[in-house]
Structure 1
Amino acid sequence: MAEVTFKEKPVTLMGNQVSVGDSAPDFTVLANDLSEVKLSDSKGKVRLISVVPSIDTGVCEQQTRRFNEEAAKLDNVEILTISVDLPFAQKRWCAAEGIDNLQVLSDHRDLSFGNNYAVAIEELRLLSRSIFVIDSNDKVTYVEYVSEVTNHPDYDAALEAAKSAQ
């Protein structure tokens, strides 16, 4: 299991860790209009899943903006940002920030994504910062569990993995 800290204090991640080569677990999260979104909804596409603790914090904002900018440059890659923020707050934030090249989704209801990808922080009921790339055949091709939740992920490695996935 990945060792993760939040503000330098160890946290417990719930669920089973996902590794490169695994079949990507399906999940159900909510779109900003409260409709359900599943991984299987985008079958046949490469998915880059950017996981943030809360969309309304500095590093999370920067991470989401960066992937929003990069999304326009990627062919056949769908970028999903997932947090436990309420869909209403996500919708308001995206409108204010001009985020329109990726989907921002909420795992607040039952932590389906968080538990299936081992990013739900038991002590905080937030998601641990991480990146997953899933190819068009639903195989995990890239995983980064960021060891300190308040740090940035490796954007370049994640984007390269998404570009090279089929």
Structure 2
Amino acid sequence: MAIVTLKGNKLNTIGSLPTVGSSAPSFTLTKNDLSSADLAQYKGKKVVLNIFPSVDTGTCAQSVRQFNTEASELKNTVVLCVSKDLPFAQARFCGAEGLNNVEMLSDFKDGNFGTHYGVSFADGPLAPLLSRSVVVLDEEGKVIYTEQVAETTEEPNYKAALEALVNA
């Protein structure tokens, strides 16, 4: 269990992020067209998992925008933005913002992603949404960087995540 805050108030997650050097837990998430996406589909590419509570908040929306901008400059890299938002809301957001360098994926069906990655909130007003986190994977699906943002209202460390990609 990890402890993060929301405006200074402590919240618990159900677990901890995967450790650097471990194989990333497999997942099946829902794309905007309601088809499924699983981790195996991205083998051979570097993967940024941009995980957050809801794209309908300013900080979450900014993380999607920021990674969209940064992703356009990275070779052999895909950015997967993961939340429990309905795929319709995710599609609406990206369409309205003109974002096409990220892939929006939803954990709304069964919450298994949040469980396997340890990022589902266990308590507080955001339970069972996902805690703001970044997990970076190499081409073989090994974890090369993780960050669980300590204060949910703050943005992740984009620079550190991108440096992990460049140095992988």
Short-chain TM bin = over 0.9
Which position in structure 2 is the counterpart of 1:96?
96
Q: How does 1:73-92 map to 2 (within 5 A)?
A: 73-92=73-92
Normalised by the size of structure 2, how large is the TM-score?
Answer: 0.94
Which position in structure 2 is the counterpart of 1:11?
11
- Percent identity reads 48
1:127 to 113, 127, 130: 130
Structure 1, unaligned runs of 5 or more: none
- The 8 Å contact of residues 15 and 119 in structure 1, kept in 2 or not, is answered as yes
- The 8 Å contact of residues 16 and 115 in structure 1, kept in 2 or not, is answered as no
CA distance in 1: counterparts of 2:11 and 2:108, whole angstroms: 19
Deviation for aligned residue 1:122 = 2.0
CA distance in 2: counterparts of 1:151 and 1:2, whole angstroms: 17
- The 8 Å contact of residues 83 and 105 in structure 2, kept in 1 or not, is answered as yes
**Which ranges of 4 or more aligned residues in structure 1 deviate by more than 6 Å?**
none
Normalised by the size of structure 1, how large is the TM-score?
Answer: 0.95
- The 8 Å contact of residues 2 and 12 in structure 2, kept in 1 or not, is answered as no
Query: How much is the aligned-residue C-alpha RMSD, in angstroms?
Result: 1.1
Report the residue type matching 1:146 in the other structure: V
CA distance in 2: counterparts of 1:60 and 1:29, whole angstroms: 18
Q: How does 1:54-73 map to 2 (within 5 A)?
A: 54-73=54-73
Deviation for aligned residue 1:126 = 0.8
Report the residue type matching 1:108 in the other structure: F
Aligned length: 165
Deviation for aligned residue 1:44 = 1.1
Structure 2, unaligned runs of 5 or more: none
| Deviation sequence 1:5-38 (CA, Å, 0-9, x none) | 1222222212453111111100111000111111
